[in-house]
Amino acid sequence: MSISIIPGGVTAAKGFTAGGIHCGVRKNRAKRDLAMIVSEKRAAAAAVYTTNLVKGASITVTKRNIADGYAQAVICNSGNANTCNADGVEVSEKMCALAGEALGIPAEDVIVASTGVIGQRLDITPIAAGIPSLVASLGDHSEETAEAIMTTDTVLKQLAVSFDVGGVTCRMGGIAKGSGMIHPNMATMLVFITTDCAIAPAMLQKALSQDVKTTFNMVSVDGDTSTNDMVSVLANGMAGNAVIDAEGEAFDAFAKALNTVTVQLCRSIAADGEGATKLLECRVTGAKDELAAKTAAKSVVCSSLTKAAMFGADANWGRVLCAIGYSGADVDVTRTDVKFVSAAGEVVVCENGAGVDFSEELAKKVLSESEIDIVVAFHEGDGAAVAWGCDLTYDYVKINGDYRT
């Protein structure tokens, strides 16, 4: 099951082209705002969506379009979420129709996504005008595509891997946007993954649904669960492996490759959280069960006080214990150990629920790194979990204090 990182992103797999342009949804002409990904052949399609009751119109339309398990293209705009608009579904449908028309495929084979401000009408005019040149630009342009889906992201997020399925080399790649409104328990961001591996739609959905439980559902930037976001995968089968249509070794190889891509994208999203200067990874072991481990880990990366302390490189571990205590996780706080780990070393701060003496100097060094692991051990069982988050900074407030103007 060897998996290798390869260059590129969403166009690394055979038969996929992509592109991203500025069409005018955004006023800033320097920022791409319309993205497209196309498969040469109709592909198996799977997706997971936001659990927010308020759902973007694009979610409604995409769900319907991939209900048959297949799709061939993705169209996505940034700058406007097309959510809470009376004509939202109509506009999303129109985006699919225009994309389908330009590509010569049915509108029902198009996945549509929108991200940006909520509650402002999305004008189809610039999108309609832009689609022909977007289609003309399609090629090996994963970076432009990744740029076009970004909102407050500061870093382009893409990754590709190659992996082996029954002796056949397959490729898989993805792009992501995240930054704000990132919170556990939903597909909390836009992630588009493509692969040339042959896999049946039901198995593709199974692999994705399993995977997000320990990846995208364990990332939090600000506790706000977005209305629009989704993770989708297109698998066009052009690698030529025997179609994966049941669990087994091939399915496991696929799941492993998917997990490699998703974990890395999760880390990129958390590290590039709005205003973030640090990636936080909370690793929990020894909980009674996985649920307790996940609940505790998520609560730690969601705690505003812990996040602010990490920003200040302040080893205020009481906030970690506090966040575990109010998380609702069934844990024995009197048997809890906590340590901070980074490239600069590690510092044990709490044993059996009580503080231990530690070097403040070392702690400051450990917490001044850009990736910090908060390692929690409960000594009660085998439950383990990992959650990702980021620090809370002045810039988070700045970015969100006046997002619309």
Q: What residues line the site for its own copies (CB under 8 A)? A: 51-55, 81, 83-86, 117-121, 180-181, 183, 186, 222-227, 302-305, 308-309, 311-312, 314, 316-319, 321-326, 331, 333, 349-350, 353-355, 392-394, 396-405
**Residues 177 and 115: beta-carbon distance below 8 Å:** yes
Name the residue nearer to its own copies (CB basis): 163 or 396: 396
CB of 320 to its own copies, least distance (A): 9
Residue 55 CB, nearest distance to its own copies (Å)?
A: 8
Whether residue 19 contacts residue 31, with contact meaning beta carbons closer than 8 Å, is answered with: no
- Of the pair 169, 400, the CB lying nearest its own copies is at 400
Considering the complex, what minimum distance in angstroms separates the CB of residue 120 from its own copies? 6
- Could you say which of 50, 151, 188, 227 is catalytic? 188
Quote the CA–CA distance of 284 and 374 in Å, as a whole number: 8
Helices (runs of H) and strands (runs of E) counted in the chain: 11, 15
Contacts 24+ apart (CB under 8 A), 135-138: 135/19, 135/36, 135/102, 135/103, 137/19, 137/21, 138/17, 138/18, 138/19, 138/36, 138/38
Q: At residue 252, what are phi and psi to the nearest 5 degrees?
A: -65, -40
Shortest distance (Å) from residue 315 CB to its own copies: 8
Angle at 197 between CA 193 and CA 200, to 5 degrees: 95
Q: Indicate if 17 belongs to the active site.
A: no
Residue 98 and residue 112: Cα distance in Å, rounded? Answer: 11
Smallest CA-to-CA distance from 21 within 7, 33, 29, 11 is with 33
Which contiguous run of DSSP H or E holds residue 337? Answer: strand 337-342
Instruction: State the minimum distance, in angstroms, from the CB of residue 183 to its own copies.
Output: 7
The residues annotated as belonging to the active site are: 188
